[in-house]
Amino acid sequence: MNQLAQIQNFQTALNGYHPSKTAIQVLSQTELVLLVAPAASGRNTIIRELLKTDDYYFIVSDTTRKPRTNDGILEQNGREYWFRNEADMLADIDSGKFLEAAIIHNQQVSGISIRELQAAQELRKIAMTDAEVAGADNAIRYKPDTVAIFVLPPNFEEWQRRLRYRGDMHDEEFKRRMESALTEFEIALSRDYFRFVVNDSIDDAAAEVNQIVKLDILDETKQSSGRKLAEQLYVDTAALLKSL
């Protein structure tokens, strides 16, 4: 399990955090898409599908956690994440070199570095990445035209199956993820900037995200059903947590 040795320092640095003037200037010139989702919703698979079009640039987030092994393959620096030590990450936060950064599960700090936005800008591509709900709030604050999409599993049962399929997870870790998901559903439902996309088919979900981003087309019927699904997932998650 990851542990944050300097969690209090990070809490202080992130309380009222704002990017530097240089960072805000870069941000204003970059088209940005954020995908937010609870664990095991298929967000990263959707991102991989969209990257095949070559119109998007995947922003590799910085993180203080250690590399993991997924399906027998060890994560690599610069591919899944930029793996940083706490001191360097904290120094960059203090210097305003992130669009956003957040403490996740009280175990790690992850965030979007401005240098990644510069790379997308230079390639004239749409910057896309996964983000936490707190990160989306920060992005919208400094770049109101950010496209923020909340990815939902098709139903509670399928979501739980996907979570369990990811491998061994200690009860404490599972509970922590459910607590985080409950907060994520609650915040997403309270924000009017989120577009909801239900991931019951990777191809369809990726196509819907692409349509929202490039054509600014929003299916109000799908948005309404997505919101209702998020509300039900919130209720089911809260009930599950009470039983743990």
Cβ pair 44, 166 in contact under 8 A: no
Q: In what order do the strands lie in the sheet containing 82-83?
A: 82-83, 62-63, 108-113, 98-104
Phi, psi of 29 (to 5 degrees): -105, 5
Cβ pair 241, 180 in contact under 8 A: no
Q: What is the pLDDT along the chain (244 residues), one digit of tens a residue?
A: 678 999 999 999 999 899 999 999 999 999 999 999 999 999 999 999 999 999 999 999 999 999 998 778 999 999 999 999 999 999 999 999 999 898 988 899 999 999 999 999 999 999 999 988 988 988 899 899 999 999 999 999 999 999 988 767 889 989 999 999 999 999 999 999 999 999 999 999 999 999 999 999 999 999 999 999 999 999 999 999 999 9
CATH label, 7-243, candidates 3.30.2290.10, 3.40.50.80, 3.40.50.300, 3.40.190.10? 3.40.50.300
Helices (H), the chain: 7-14, 21-28, 43-51, 86-94, 114-122, 133-142, 156-165, 171-190, 202-215, 220-243
Question: How confident is the model at residue 70, as a pLDDT?
Answer: 79
| Structure-block tokens of residue 205 | 């979900």
Phi, psi of 210 (to 5 degrees): -60, -40
Q: Closest by alpha carbon to 193, among 212, 215, 179?
A: 212
* H-run or E-run covering 58: strand 56-58
* H-run or E-run covering 112: strand 108-113
- From residue 157, alpha-carbon distances to 93, 164, 184, 232 in Å are 39, 11, 18, 12
Question: How confident is the model at residue 3, as a pLDDT?
Answer: 82
Question: How confident is the model at residue 134, as a pLDDT?
Answer: 81
Alpha carbon distance 112, 129 (integer Å): 8
Handedness of CA 156, 242, 188, 130 (dihedral sign): negative
Question: How confident is the model at residue 238, as a pLDDT?
Answer: 98
